[in-house]
Amino acid sequence: MEKRAALSHFQPHGVLISDAAGRPARRAFTEAVLQPGRPLHELAAPFARVIAEEAAGLPSAATLDWDTFNVTWWRVVRRVVLGSAARDDTTLTDQLERLRLDANWAYAHPKRKQLREEFRRRLTGHLDRAEPGSLAAVIAATDAVDAPDQVAHWLFAFDAAGMATYRTLALLASHPAEQDRARSEIDGTEPAQLSYLRACVLESVRLWPTTPMILRETTEETAWGPAGTTVLIFTPFFHRDPGLPYADRFEPDLWLDGRAAENPALVPFSAGPAICPGRDLVQFCASTMLAALLRDHGYEQASGPVLSPERPLPATLDNFHLKLKPVG
């Protein structure tokens, strides 16, 4: 109920807020296009080219700040999802941002029908182009179910992916041994399945989940109450369980050596039938962007909260004020 009230501001027919009848077809469409379970999406090669081109536009010798990174990230997102013709359509993503701000107020904010219609018209225009090398082309070749509403969710969710990517870079900048290991994985192959960098991204989302609250409604009576009871799973409670030896440390290896797989309470991308279908695409885009940034030099932290292997990592991380300086 909560999710529906919030998300209906910009994606009333999105898979995440569908009822039991509408859900299977929307989920199937989403999986067909986003291709979870494939570390390399069928369009990984053109996506890697887009990421390399946009990363090359970042000033390589200057200190990197969030605003600069975020502009580049959104160019990548619009190109990957909608095609290069959408690269500079900041109006589209600004409109979505305004609708999302309303969504935070859920039922307490009236719906802006006109803005939603304008956003949808603009988005549909991009999807209709079905530009080769973009998700829009895959959509055009798939049995689409309320495509603009599904894509509105994808665009919105890519915001979290940008934050996770930038926070991963901050972790690497403050953990020299892990940064060296990540850099040694980058050999210029494109597209590449960068296992260690992907594990670093998962670690960033474990430490600072971008979806810290997973909501469910029970369908039958449970120990917590009658059917229809809302259950809130607060993931930081589990991800930072003081009983875990790695709770407050940056430890990418746990995603590679089986420790994360053994612990069902680590759910950076959720779990079960609603597990994030964008998880592989996110890890691909994030790790490829990080590889592009780290190929020629490393980074160290220039400002922001202290992140260090010597002390517990903070419970939250404000990415907006983090600055990272190139070194080496």
Contacting residues toward ligand HEM, per CB under 6 A: 15-16, 27, 30, 34, 153-154, 157-158, 160-161, 164, 205, 210-211, 214, 268-270, 274, 276-278, 281-282
Tell the smallest beta-carbon distance from residue 26 to ligand HEM (Å). Answer: 8
Task: List beta partners, residue 326.
Answer: 299
By C-beta, is 31 or 65 nearer to ligand HEM?
31
Residue 220 token pair: 């039958």
By C-beta, is 243 or 272 nearer to ligand HEM?
272
By C-beta, is 195 or 211 nearer to ligand HEM?
211
Residue 260 token pair: 């994360």
User: What span, in angstroms and rounded, lies between the C-alpha atoms of 313 and 291?
Assistant: 24
User: What span, in angstroms and rounded, lies between the C-alpha atoms of 231 and 51?
Assistant: 39
Q: From edge to edge, which strands make up the β-sheet containing 323-327?
A: 64-65, 323-327, 298-303
By C-beta, is 15 or 99 nearer to ligand HEM?
15
Residue 99 token pair: 């609708």
Chain mean position to CA 168? 12
Neighbours of 32 (CB within 10 A): 16
By C-beta, is 153 or 326 nearer to ligand HEM?
153
Three-state DSSP class for residue 29: helix
User: Residue 73: phi, psi to the nearest 5?
Assistant: -60, -45
Query: For 274, which DSSP code?
Result: G
Three-state DSSP class for residue 39: coil
**Which residue in 218, 234, 235, 237 sits closest to 226, CA to CA?**
218
Tell the smallest beta-carbon distance from residue 155 to ligand HEM (Å). Answer: 8
Tell the smallest beta-carbon distance from residue 162 to ligand HEM (Å). Answer: 8
> Which long-range contacts does 67-71 make (Cβ < 8 Å, 24+ apart)?
69/162, 69/166, 70/162, 70/166
Tell the smallest beta-carbon distance from residue 184 to ligand HEM (Å). Answer: 25
By C-beta, is 34 or 294 nearer to ligand HEM?
34
Tell the smallest beta-carbon distance from residue 144 to ligand HEM (Å). Answer: 14
User: What span, in angstroms and rounded, lies between the C-alpha atoms of 23 and 21?
Assistant: 6
By C-beta, is 124 or 303 nearer to ligand HEM?
124
By C-beta, is 169 or 281 nearer to ligand HEM?
281
Tell the smallest beta-carbon distance from residue 186 to ligand HEM (Å). Answer: 21
Tell the smallest beta-carbon distance from residue 115 to ligand HEM (Å). Answer: 22
**Nearest-CB residue for ligand HEM:** 278
User: What span, in angstroms and rounded, lies between the C-alpha atoms of 23 and 3?
Assistant: 15
Task: List beta partners, residue 216.
Answer: 231
Tell the smallest beta-carbon distance from residue 198 to ligand HEM (Å). Answer: 12
Query: Which secondary-structure segment (H or E) carries 324?
Result: strand 323-327
